[in-house]
Amino acid sequence: MPRRPARPGALKDLAPLRILTQIALLQLSYYLVAIVLIAFVSVVATGERPGLKSFFDWRELRGDVTTGWTLGLCWMLDSLITVIPILLLIARSKLVLDFALTIHFLHLITTSLYARAIPTTIYWWLVQVASAALMTSVGIWACQWRELRPMAFGGKSSKGQQAGDANGHAIEPNAMEEGEGYAAGSAGRGRGRGRDGAGSYEMVGMAPREPA
């Protein structure tokens, strides 16, 4: 049974190097947005600059203190903003879930390596699940909105648009029947310009048939 030929661009879309590049860019944007949000909130709320543990230590994300709830809100807002890079880099709704889970899985590895322990607090896991769900749902909606946008093929047509000749000059609708055109009801030969304006045609009258 003959194999179906590969879809044009399929190998390019599934290239490992391209996928790794997209993951790296998304992860970098995810952390950059988190750093900006958490640093801004920390400076405004406490007047102190946050340390690395505020970003990568899962023990800071707690549900029994106000700081932990503030960090959780920042991570949720970070997931919402990360939808923009997903829309720009991925733009395919069926791949949003994979990339969203990959981002949070890499974040789990990063926080575990930094704290030298796997997260054990329920609040941290709840924030991650809610963040992944928010990023996936909003990302799929945004990509589907982009995929379903009507495509414009260019060129406009209207009923009252005038025809143009080969040089781009406008021609009135009745101009083809004057001069080079043929008069209605006349016998014999006549000349007229083609509808595409790319040349002329010649109409030859038919000789009357002799009675049998």
pLDDT for residue 13 is more than 80: no
Which whole number is the average pLDDT over 5-31?
77
d(CA 201, CA 56): 79
pLDDT tens digits, residue range 109-132? 999 999 999 999 999 999 999 999
The confidence score (pLDDT) of residue 182 equals 41
CA dist., res. 52 & res. 32, Å (int): 13
Q: Hey, what amino acid is at 157?
A: S
Nearest to 180 by CA among 168, 190, 167: 190
Measure the CA–CA gap between 105 and 14, rounded to whole angstroms.
Answer: 21
Q: What's the rounded Cα separation, in Å, for the pair 64 and 68?
A: 7
Tell me the three state secondary structure of residue 203: strand
Arithmetic mean of pLDDT, 42-64: 83
Residue 192, token pair as written in the block: 């007229």
Tokens of 113: 């390596």
Residue 192: phi and psi, rounded to 5, are -155, 160
Cβ–Cβ < 8 Å for 189, 205: yes
Q: Parse the chain into domains and list their residue ranges.
A: 15-147
The strand ranges marked E within the chain are 163-164, 170-171, 190-193, 200-203
- Tell me, what's the pLDDT at 32? 95
- Report whether pLDDT(33) > 80: yes
Check residue 94 and report its DSSP letter: G
pLDDT value, residue 5: 54
141-193: pLDDT as tens digits: 999 988 887 765 554 544 444 444 444 454 444 544 444 444 444 444 445 55
